[in-house]
Amino acid sequence: MKVLVAVKRVVDYNVKVRVKADNSGVDLANVKMSMNPFCEIAVEEAVRLKEKGVATEIVAVAVGPTAAQEQLRTALALGADRAILVETGEELNSLAVAKALKAIVDKEQPQLVILGKQAIDSDNNQTGQMLAALTGYAQGTFASKVEVAGDKLNVTREIDGGLQTVALALPAIVTTDLRLNEPRYASLPNIMKAKKKPLETVTPDALGVSTASTTKTIKVEAPAARSAGVKVKSVAELVEKLKNEAKVI
């Protein structure tokens, strides 16, 4: 089966972001960017499906700026066969991204689309579910285990009380949770080979996709800072303070 994997370029997860002084957003100038960690897991799962002989071709897709080519090259180095960049200068909302992905799904006709469950910048956790709605496919979100069983996909999902398993008709959409797998590192020879793999660029306009949005960001602020606390010397002092000062026990 053909597998489509969506990847996003985001600020690296170790970076402590700073809000811009004019409250228009967070400062991303000269900040380290990487592939979103959940997307790495999605790529890894697709590659494992190929290694098991289930997947025949892996297409990596990104919707974002020209620089997102770097993240697509990373996906190619990890084992994707080819890549498509839907290039846009704007910061798109999840629905617009889902619409762009829907256009690619229509063109490529994959049996399975794997996405991360959320991007660590917007923290939306929406795109996979929206793509499932637009395509009419079943969705297996927050997946910690994926098994292809004939024409069905068994997905074990992380839910609030534990785990839930659902069976989905293919084609289907899966979004990854952190425990789905441990992503591999790209080796140098594979990084070199990835440079020769095909990377196609399209625009939302060429796909006939509207990027209009019903939500706009008015301002972005730093969260209220917590005032520095005190260090206690002993457990007895800690208990005394919790009882008499904070009055929480």
Dihedral angle, C-alpha 137, 139, 140, 141, nearest 10 °: 150
Q: Is 13 in the site for another protein (CB under 8 A)?
A: yes
Q: Which of 61, 168, 180, 209 binds another protein (CB under 8 A)?
A: 168
| CB nearer another protein, residue 81 or residue 177 | 177
Residues near another protein (CB under 8 A), total: 80
Is residue 165 within 8 A of residue 152, CB to CB? The reply is no
Q: Give the pair of three-digit tokens for residue 203.
A: 């625009």
Residues linked to residue 60 through DSSP beta bridges, in sequence order: 5, 83
Residue 57 has φ and ψ, to the nearest 5°, of -140, 140
| CB nearer another protein, residue 76 or residue 98 | 98
Taking residues 82 to 121 in sequence order and writing x for each that binds another protein by CB under 8 A, - otherwise, the string is -----------xxx--x------------------xx-xx
**Residues 23 to 42: which contact another protein by CB under 8 A?**
26
Calpha distance 234→209 (Å, rounded) = 62
Cα dihedral sign, 55-67-24-37 = positive
Q: How far is the CB of 177 from another protein (least distance, A)?
A: 7
Q: Is 1 in the site for another protein (CB under 8 A)?
A: no
Cα atoms found within 13 Å of the Cα of residue 93, Cβ hemisphere only: 10
Q: Give the pair of three-digit tokens for residue 22.
A: 């004019």
Is residue 208 within 8 A of residue 104, CB to CB? The reply is no
Give the single-character DSSP code of 78: H
Q: Is 181 in the site for another protein (CB under 8 A)?
A: no
Q: Is 238 in the site for another protein (CB under 8 A)?
A: yes
Q: How far is the CB of 119 from another protein (least distance, A)?
A: 10
Q: Is 165 in the site for another protein (CB under 8 A)?
A: yes
Calpha distance 229→224 (Å, rounded) = 15
Nearest to residue 48, comparing CAs of 177, 183, 229? 183
Taking residues 51 to 80 in sequence order and writing x for each that binds another protein by CB under 8 A, - otherwise, the string is ------------------------------
| CB nearer another protein, residue 190 or residue 213 | 213
Taking residues 121 to 160 in sequence order and writing x for each that binds another protein by CB under 8 A, - otherwise, the string is xxxxxxxxxxxxxx-xxxx-xx-x---------x--xxxx
User: Which stretch in 48-56, 58-66, 199-207, 214-222 sits in contact with another protein by CB under 8 A?
Assistant: 214-222
Q: Is 176 in the site for another protein (CB under 8 A)?
A: no
